[in-house]
Chain A
Amino acid sequence: AAGVIQSPRHLIKEKRETATLKCYPIPRHDTVYWYQQGPGQDPQFLISFYEKMQSDKGSIPDRFSAQQFSDYHSELNMSSLELGDSALYFCASSGGLEWNEQFFGPGTRLTVL
């Protein structure tokens, strides 16, 4: 079965640079979620989209922005990167008969040097 795809899987950036993370949900899923998991931490919710509209917002820094496109894929844009942004970023999706479960992608590991 198709799963959530995230790209890139690994990303290394310098401080103050910009990063773009991409997420391709499971086919026919209309909702996308972004989570940030720091080292030794539990995942923290950043933002979600349902039918291309923002549906919920968590502790996402103003330096971060995200959107969901017409094909339901989503991008998380991160600017002015800081050392503390180094983390594992998960995308999850839900929809259709699976509306009440979130299926997670493998994550993008971002390292800021």
Chain B
Amino acid sequence: AQTVTQSQPEMSVQEAETVTLSCTYDTSESDYYLFWYKQPPSRQMILVIRQEAYKQQNATENRFSVNFQKAAKSFSLKISDSQLGDAAMYFCAYRRDNQGGKLIFGQGTELSVKP
């Protein structure tokens, strides 16, 4: 069975600085998708970034980028120029490459941003 692990329950960053959130996963599949979701205090689940396992290039979305290491099964999220609005719970998630496939989430990392 696939598992997702986030070993950092809490992280803190100074406004305008850079922070990296860690995520590891375990799977025997070769094709899959990885995601980072943000859950602010409103509890809405917001997709931050997506990575296809077959792509070697790391995904980037504005200030958000990932470091995808397929062999090491590692998928970290880097937030550059952190803003107060980035404060939230961040979940790493895995999905098999199939129609209707479920998301398997990590335990989450609570990110606080200091002004």
**Which residues of A does B touch, CB under 8 Å?**
31, 33, 35, 37, 42-45, 48-50, 55-56, 58, 88, 90, 92, 94, 99-104, 106-107
Contacts and interface: CB of A to CB of B under 8 A. Distances in A.
Contact of B50 (A31, A92, A101): A101
Contacts of B108: 42
Interface in B22-76: 33, 37, 42-47, 50
Given A101-B47, A106-B44, A48 B102 contact: yes
12 contacts: A33-B100, A33-B102, A33-B103, A43-B105, A45-B102, A55-B99, A56-B100, A56-B101, A92-B103, A100-B33, A104-B37, A107-B45
Interface residues of B, number: 21
A49 B100 contact: yes
Contacts, number: 57
B33 A45 contact: no
Interface of B: 33, 37, 42-47, 50, 91, 95, 99-108
